[in-house]
Amino acid sequence: SQTIHQWPATLVQPVGSPLSLECTVEGTSNPNLYWYRQAAGRGLQLLFYSVGIGQISSEVPQNLSASRPQDRQFILSSKKLLLSDSGFYLCAWSVAGVEQFFGPGTRLTVL
Amino acid sequence: AQSVTQLGSHVSVSEGALVLLRCNYSSSVPPYLFWYVQYPNQGLQLLLKYTTGATLVKGINGFEAEFKKSETSFHLTKPSAHMSDAAEYFCAVSEGGSYDKVIFGPGTSLSVIP
Protein backbone atom coordinates (compact mmCIF):
# COMPACT_ATOMS: atom_id res chain seq x y z
CA SER A 1 0.00 0.00 0.00
CA GLN A 2 1.03 3.58 -0.52
CA THR A 3 2.30 5.83 2.25
CA ILE A 4 3.30 9.47 2.30
CA HIS A 5 5.64 10.96 4.88
CA GLN A 6 6.37 14.54 5.77
CA TRP A 7 8.93 15.91 8.15
CA PRO A 8 9.34 17.64 10.36
CA ALA A 9 5.87 17.65 11.86
CA THR A 10 6.36 21.06 13.44
CA LEU A 11 8.97 23.74 12.94
CA VAL A 12 9.64 27.13 14.49
CA GLN A 13 12.08 29.29 12.57
CA PRO A 14 13.25 32.91 12.82
CA VAL A 15 12.62 35.37 10.03
CA GLY A 16 15.44 35.26 7.50
CA SER A 17 16.44 31.68 8.20
CA PRO A 18 16.43 28.94 5.53
CA LEU A 19 13.80 26.25 5.19
CA SER A 20 13.74 22.68 3.99
CA LEU A 21 10.64 20.50 4.21
CA GLU A 22 10.72 16.99 2.88
CA CYS A 23 8.05 14.73 1.51
CA THR A 24 8.48 11.12 0.45
CA VAL A 25 6.04 8.64 -1.01
CA GLU A 26 6.26 4.87 -0.75
CA GLY A 27 4.50 2.14 -2.67
CA THR A 28 3.96 3.88 -5.99
CA SER A 29 6.01 4.90 -9.02
CA ASN A 30 6.09 8.14 -11.00
CA PRO A 31 3.46 9.92 -8.94
CA ASN A 32 2.40 13.50 -9.45
CA LEU A 33 3.50 15.43 -6.38
CA TYR A 34 2.10 18.62 -4.90
CA TRP A 35 2.89 21.18 -2.21
CA TYR A 36 0.01 23.12 -0.66
CA ARG A 37 -0.06 25.79 2.01
CA GLN A 38 -2.96 26.32 4.34
CA ALA A 39 -2.93 29.57 6.26
CA ALA A 40 -4.84 29.77 9.54
CA GLY A 41 -8.57 29.43 8.89
CA ARG A 42 -8.06 29.39 5.15
CA GLY A 43 -8.39 26.91 2.34
CA LEU A 44 -5.62 25.19 0.44
CA GLN A 45 -3.32 27.10 -1.85
CA LEU A 46 -1.41 25.06 -4.42
CA LEU A 47 2.24 26.15 -4.36
CA PHE A 48 4.04 23.69 -6.63
CA TYR A 49 3.37 20.52 -8.56
CA SER A 50 5.63 18.03 -10.27
CA VAL A 51 4.88 15.39 -12.89
CA GLY A 52 8.39 13.90 -12.89
CA ILE A 53 11.97 14.14 -11.64
CA GLY A 54 13.30 17.65 -12.08
CA GLN A 55 9.98 18.92 -13.43
CA ILE A 56 8.55 21.62 -11.19
CA SER A 57 5.76 24.06 -11.91
CA SER A 58 5.00 27.00 -9.67
CA GLU A 59 1.46 28.18 -9.20
CA VAL A 60 2.14 31.46 -7.45
CA PRO A 61 5.19 33.72 -7.23
CA GLN A 62 6.60 33.62 -3.76
CA ASN A 63 9.54 33.23 -1.47
CA LEU A 64 9.60 29.46 -1.81
CA SER A 65 11.04 26.92 -4.24
CA ALA A 66 10.59 23.20 -4.78
CA SER A 67 12.74 20.40 -6.07
CA ARG A 68 12.24 16.75 -6.96
CA PRO A 69 15.62 15.03 -6.86
CA GLN A 70 14.14 11.52 -6.90
CA ASP A 71 10.96 9.99 -8.22
CA ARG A 72 9.26 9.83 -4.84
CA GLN A 73 10.89 12.75 -3.05
CA PHE A 74 9.64 16.32 -3.07
CA ILE A 75 11.36 19.13 -1.19
CA LEU A 76 10.10 22.59 -0.35
CA SER A 77 12.76 25.22 0.36
CA SER A 78 13.37 28.84 1.11
CA LYS A 79 16.60 30.80 1.40
CA LYS A 80 15.12 33.40 3.73
CA LEU A 81 11.82 32.93 5.52
CA LEU A 82 9.26 35.69 5.87
CA LEU A 83 6.59 36.04 8.55
CA SER A 84 3.99 35.42 5.85
CA ASP A 85 5.46 31.97 5.21
CA SER A 86 3.88 30.67 8.42
CA GLY A 87 1.22 28.07 7.85
CA PHE A 88 0.40 24.41 7.51
CA TYR A 89 2.23 22.80 4.60
CA LEU A 90 0.75 19.74 2.99
CA CYS A 91 2.33 17.40 0.50
CA ALA A 92 0.13 15.23 -1.71
CA TRP A 93 0.50 12.64 -4.43
CA SER A 94 -1.69 11.24 -7.16
CA VAL A 95 -1.53 8.83 -10.06
CA ALA A 96 -3.56 8.72 -13.26
CA GLY A 97 -5.84 11.65 -12.75
CA VAL A 98 -7.92 10.58 -9.82
CA GLU A 99 -7.85 11.69 -6.21
CA GLN A 100 -4.93 13.15 -4.34
CA PHE A 101 -3.59 11.59 -1.17
CA PHE A 102 -2.27 13.88 1.51
CA GLY A 103 0.53 13.64 4.00
CA PRO A 104 0.16 14.55 7.68
CA GLY A 105 1.45 18.09 7.16
CA THR A 106 4.12 20.34 8.66
CA ARG A 107 3.17 23.23 10.93
CA LEU A 108 5.62 26.08 10.26
CA THR A 109 5.77 29.10 12.52
CA VAL A 110 8.04 31.96 11.52
CA LEU A 111 8.86 34.35 14.36
CA ALA B 1 -11.54 27.79 -15.60
CA GLN B 2 -12.56 25.50 -12.81
CA SER B 3 -13.81 26.84 -9.52
CA VAL B 4 -15.53 25.60 -6.38
CA THR B 5 -17.80 27.43 -4.00
CA GLN B 6 -18.96 26.15 -0.63
CA LEU B 7 -21.95 27.91 0.85
CA GLY B 8 -21.37 28.59 4.53
CA SER B 9 -17.89 28.78 5.99
CA HIS B 10 -19.29 27.42 9.23
CA VAL B 11 -22.19 25.04 9.83
CA SER B 12 -23.54 23.90 13.20
CA VAL B 13 -25.84 20.93 13.68
CA SER B 14 -27.15 19.06 16.67
CA GLU B 15 -25.97 15.55 17.33
CA GLY B 16 -28.29 13.18 15.47
CA ALA B 17 -29.47 15.83 13.02
CA LEU B 18 -29.02 15.85 9.27
CA VAL B 19 -25.72 17.17 7.96
CA LEU B 20 -25.86 19.09 4.68
CA LEU B 21 -22.76 20.78 3.31
CA ARG B 22 -23.18 22.57 0.02
CA CYS B 23 -20.81 22.60 -2.91
CA ASN B 24 -21.17 24.11 -6.37
CA TYR B 25 -18.58 23.94 -9.09
CA SER B 26 -17.81 25.22 -12.53
CA SER B 27 -15.96 23.18 -15.11
CA SER B 28 -15.69 23.24 -18.89
CA VAL B 29 -15.57 19.44 -19.11
CA PRO B 30 -17.27 16.63 -17.17
CA PRO B 31 -15.61 16.93 -13.80
CA TYR B 32 -14.24 14.63 -11.20
CA LEU B 33 -15.59 15.72 -7.83
CA PHE B 34 -14.31 15.04 -4.33
CA TRP B 35 -15.07 15.67 -0.70
CA TYR B 36 -12.22 15.68 1.79
CA VAL B 37 -12.28 15.95 5.58
CA GLN B 38 -9.58 17.52 7.71
CA TYR B 39 -9.29 17.09 11.47
CA PRO B 40 -7.24 19.64 13.42
CA ASN B 41 -3.53 19.58 12.61
CA GLN B 42 -3.90 16.67 10.23
CA GLY B 43 -3.78 16.14 6.50
CA LEU B 44 -6.84 15.75 4.31
CA GLN B 45 -8.64 12.43 4.06
CA LEU B 46 -10.81 11.50 1.11
CA LEU B 47 -14.46 10.99 2.08
CA LEU B 48 -15.83 10.16 -1.35
CA LYS B 49 -15.41 10.86 -5.04
CA TYR B 50 -17.41 11.02 -8.23
CA THR B 51 -15.77 10.24 -11.54
CA THR B 52 -18.34 8.58 -13.79
CA GLY B 53 -21.39 6.37 -13.45
CA ALA B 54 -23.85 6.47 -10.58
CA THR B 55 -24.48 10.04 -9.50
CA LEU B 56 -25.17 9.15 -5.85
CA VAL B 57 -21.86 8.34 -4.27
CA LYS B 58 -21.41 6.75 -0.88
CA GLY B 59 -18.30 7.35 1.16
CA ILE B 60 -16.77 6.58 4.48
CA ASN B 61 -18.29 7.37 7.88
CA GLY B 62 -21.86 7.33 6.54
CA PHE B 63 -21.45 10.30 4.20
CA GLU B 64 -22.84 10.48 0.70
CA ALA B 65 -23.02 13.05 -2.08
CA GLU B 66 -25.05 13.43 -5.24
CA PHE B 67 -23.70 14.81 -8.49
CA LYS B 68 -26.33 17.01 -10.13
CA LYS B 69 -25.09 18.19 -13.49
CA SER B 70 -28.04 20.50 -14.13
CA GLU B 71 -27.39 22.30 -10.86
CA THR B 72 -23.57 21.99 -11.02
CA SER B 73 -23.74 20.79 -7.44
CA PHE B 74 -22.18 18.07 -5.33
CA HIS B 75 -23.67 18.49 -1.86
CA LEU B 76 -22.49 16.30 1.00
CA THR B 77 -25.00 14.74 3.39
CA LYS B 78 -25.15 12.46 6.38
CA PRO B 79 -28.47 11.44 7.93
CA SER B 80 -27.37 11.65 11.56
CA ALA B 81 -24.48 13.75 12.84
CA HIS B 82 -22.04 12.35 15.33
CA MET B 83 -19.71 14.31 17.58
CA SER B 84 -16.75 12.82 15.74
CA ASP B 85 -17.93 14.48 12.50
CA ALA B 86 -16.77 17.88 13.74
CA ALA B 87 -14.04 18.87 11.29
CA GLU B 88 -13.25 20.98 8.23
CA TYR B 89 -14.73 19.74 4.96
CA PHE B 90 -13.39 20.59 1.52
CA CYS B 91 -15.10 20.11 -1.81
CA ALA B 92 -12.79 19.80 -4.81
CA VAL B 93 -13.02 19.51 -8.58
CA SER B 94 -10.66 18.11 -11.16
CA GLU B 95 -10.77 17.78 -14.90
CA GLY B 96 -8.75 14.60 -14.65
CA GLY B 97 -6.24 13.63 -17.28
CA SER B 98 -2.55 12.97 -16.92
CA TYR B 99 -2.08 16.13 -14.91
CA ASP B 100 -4.76 16.03 -12.34
CA LYS B 101 -4.81 19.55 -10.97
CA VAL B 102 -7.41 19.75 -8.27
CA ILE B 103 -9.15 22.95 -7.29
CA PHE B 104 -10.29 23.08 -3.68
CA GLY B 105 -13.14 25.06 -2.25
CA PRO B 106 -12.56 27.34 0.73
CA GLY B 107 -13.85 24.76 3.20
CA THR B 108 -16.74 24.47 5.63
CA SER B 109 -16.15 24.02 9.32
CA LEU B 110 -18.72 21.66 10.82
CA SER B 111 -19.57 21.87 14.50
CA VAL B 112 -21.72 19.24 16.20
CA ILE B 113 -23.64 20.35 19.26
CA PRO B 114 -24.38 17.71 21.91
pLDDT (0 to 100) of residue B17: 98
**Across the interface, do B46 and A99 touch by the CB < 8 Å criterion?**
yes
pLDDT (0 to 100) of residue B98: 47
By Cβ distance, the residue of A46, A98, A103 closest to B51 is A98
pLDDT (0 to 100) of residue B100: 64
Given a cut of 60, whether residue A27 has pLDDT beyond it is yes
Cα B51 versus chain centre, distance: 14
- Give the residue-averaged pLDDT of B101-108: 88
Distance CA B62, CA B47 (A): 9
Express each pLDDT in B49-61 by its tens digit.
998 889 999 999 9
Size of interface A-B (CB pairs under 8 A): 57
Contact A6, A25 (CB under 8 A): no
Where on the phi/psi map is residue B95: left (φ > 0), alpha (ψ -120 to 50), or beta?
alpha
Residue A95's pLDDT band (boundaries 50, 70, 90)?
A: confident
Is A13 within 8 Å of chain B by CB?
no
Express each pLDDT in B38-97 by its tens digit.
998 889 999 999 988 899 999 999 999 999 999 999 999 999 999 999 999 999 988 765
Q: How far is B99 from chain A (nearest CA, A)?
A: 6
Given a cut of 80, whether residue A100 has pLDDT beyond it is yes
